[in-house]
Amino acid sequence: MNALDLARWQFGITTVYHFLFVPLSISMAFIVAGFQAAWFRTGDEKYLKLTRFYGELFLITFAMGVVTGIVQEFQFGMNWSNYSRFVGDIFGAPLAIEGLLAFFLESTFLGLWIFGWDKLPRWVHLACIWIVAVGTLLSAYFILAANAWMQQPVGYTFNATAQRAELTDIGAVLTNPTVLLGFPHVIGGAFMTGGAFVLGIAVWRLVRRAGVDSAPFRTAARVGATVLLVGGLFVVISGDQLGQHIATEQPMKLAAAEGLQTTEKSAPFSVIGLWDLSGKEIFSVKIPDLLSILATHDPNGQVQGIDNLQSQYQAQYGPGNYSPIVPVTFWSFRFMIGAGSLAALAAMWFLWRMRRGRVPGRGAVAIALVLPFLPLAANSFAWIFTEMGRQPWIVYGLQLTSSGVSPNVSSLEVAITMVVFTLLYGGLAVVEVGLLAKRIRAPLPAADAGGADSDQPAAFAY
Nearer to another protein, 81 or 403 (CB): 81
Question: Are the CB atoms for 65 and 21 separated by under 8 Å?
Answer: yes
Q: What's the chain's Rg over C-alpha atoms? A: 24
Nearer to another protein, 26 or 303 (CB): 26
Nearer to another protein, 110 or 202 (CB): 110
Minimum CB separation from another protein for residue 10, in Å? 11
Residues in Cβ contact with 150 at an 8 Å cutoff, skipping those fewer than 6 apart: 87, 91, 390, 394, 395, 396
**Alpha helices for 45-160 (secondary structure H):** 45-79, 81-97, 104-115, 122-151
Minimum CB separation from another protein for residue 454, in Å? 8
Q: Are strands 269-275 and 281-287 parallel, antiparallel or unpaired?
A: antiparallel
What are all long-range contacts of 430-438, with beta carbons under 8 Å and residues at least 24 apart? 432/60, 432/61, 432/64, 435/60, 436/57, 436/60, 436/61
Residue 67's alpha-carbon distances to 70, 200, 400, in angstroms, are 6, 26, 29
Question: Are the CB atoms for 136 and 102 separated by under 8 Å?
Answer: yes
Minimum CB separation from another protein for residue 107, in Å? 4
Angle CA 249–250–255, to nearest 5: 135
Nearer to another protein, 288 or 434 (CB): 434
Minimum CB separation from another protein for residue 145, in Å? 13
Nearer to another protein, 327 or 457 (CB): 457
Minimum CB separation from another protein for residue 179, in Å? 17
Minimum CB separation from another protein for residue 286, in Å? 46
Nearer to another protein, 299 or 451 (CB): 451
State how far the Cα of 30 lies from the Cα of 44, in Å rounded to an integer: 19
Nearer to another protein, 345 or 420 (CB): 420
Minimum CB separation from another protein for residue 305, in Å? 38
Terminal Cα distance for the chain, rounded:
43
